[in-house]
A and B are shown apart, each in its own frame.
Chain A
Amino acid sequence: MKQVDIFVAFFRVGMLGYGGGPSSIPLVYKEVVDKYKWMDSDEFGDIVAIGNALPGPIATKLAGYIGYRVGGIVGMLNALVASTVPTIIMMIFLLNALNAYKDESWVKGMAAAVMPVVAVMLAVLTWDYVKKSWESTLGWGWTLLFVVASLILMEFANIHPAIIIFALLLGALLKKDSRSGDQGKKEKHST
């Protein structure tokens, strides 16, 4: 049964993938390429590359597209439900259980103790992005400039991040590819 296979494959991905969508990509690979052989590893690589070039969560893009390829529209919905719904239900149950005892002092203590842990997780994620950014073709100079500029725009000029991101995407799309070398200043960062 193909639909059952799709459900089982993406249910496993959803239940075993810790740390959000991007960390579950290898799990999807294991199911889709190794176990069920729905596609070969080259094709899988292409799909991941395209998924990464588009915005939005990667896990649902992969599940939806592969589900569609294997089992049509039903397969697509099936894969989406299998990878997202079980963990959402767990989340709703656990948070509501916690909320029922919200006013107890020990629950308040628990909630307070989690804050610094989440802050550390975010700090690590922030550092990840900064590092990836200056290791890319942007280099540390442009990274620093972009960081300072967007910080000022968002925090002091109160511009919605969507506008800044949209402007940057547009800029990246419209900028001419400088392969001829006559375009000066950014040349030293490229290969």
Chain B
Amino acid sequence: MIYLKIFWAFFVPGILGYGGGPASIPLIENEVVDRYGWLTVHEFSEVMALGNSLPGPIATKMAGYIGYEQAGVLGAAVGVFATAAPSLILMLASLGLLMKFKESPKVKRMTISVRPVIAVLLGIMTYDFFFSSYESVGMWQTLFIGAVSFFLMEKWKVHPAYVIAGALVYGGVFLGG
């Protein structure tokens, strides 16, 4: 049952991703690349690049697109539902209770203690992406593109959408041969 798989692949990141959509990206990668093999690391990077240069929440964009590619419109709907519904239902059901405990050290500690694990997951993905880039265009191109985009985005605060667009043009012209 493909729909069940799609549901599961996005339910797990949705329910474990503390700190909003971006925190669940490595968990999504873990399911769709490592576990179900729907995308390669390369394809995942394209989805993420485009996802980051378009507006809107990132987790549902990925769920919608990947669900659609696997099983059409219904697949997209299942992916988005699995991403958004469990945490929303939890929120509606427990709001009264949580209002009382929102300042509780336990609740704060839950978010805090998960952060290092998310950092590790993101770190592993970073390594995967650099390595896969090294394999396809070599070390110098990887370092060059990486360094330029770092300075553009972090130092001069250029919007990621423009940096991605610039990289696409550069790649089309210089790396196409």
Q: Say if A and B assemble together.
A: yes
Residues of A within 8 A of B (CB): 14-22, 24, 46, 49-61, 64-65, 68, 76, 80, 83-88, 90-92, 94-95, 98, 104-126, 129-130, 132-133, 136-138, 142-143, 146-147, 150-151, 154-155, 160-162, 164-166, 168-169, 171-173, 175, 177
Q: Name A's interface SS.
A: helix
- Tally of A-B Cβ pairs under 8 angstroms: 352
B84 CB contact (under 8 Å) in A53, A64, A108, A113:
A64
Complex formed: what's the CA distance from A169 to B113 in Å? 7
Asked if residues B163 and A147 are in contact (CB atoms below 8 Å), the reply is: no
Complex formed: what's the CA distance from A65 to B172 in Å? 44
B56 CB contact (under 8 Å) in A84, A104, A121:
A84
By CB atoms of chain B within 10 A, which of A15, A80, A111, A120 has the most?
A: A120
- Report chain A residues within 8 Å CB of B92: 64-65, 68
Asked if residues A16 and B55 are in contact (CB atoms below 8 Å), the reply is: yes
Asked if residues A116 and B98 are in contact (CB atoms below 8 Å), the reply is: no
Asked if B161 lies at the interface with its beta carbon under 8 angstroms from chain A, I say: yes
Complex formed: what's the CA distance from A58 to B84 in Å? 9
- Report chain B residues within 8 Å CB of A91: 47, 50-51, 54, 61, 64-65
Asked if residues B55 and A177 are in contact (CB atoms below 8 Å), the reply is: no
Query: Residue of B at shortest CB range from A67?
Result: B88
- Report chain A residues within 8 Å CB of B163: 117
Asked if residues B57 and A111 are in contact (CB atoms below 8 Å), the reply is: no
Complex formed: what's the CA distance from A53 to B117 in Å? 17
By CB atoms of chain B within 10 A, which of A54, A64, A162, A175 has the most?
A: A54
A129 to chain B, nearest CB (A): 4
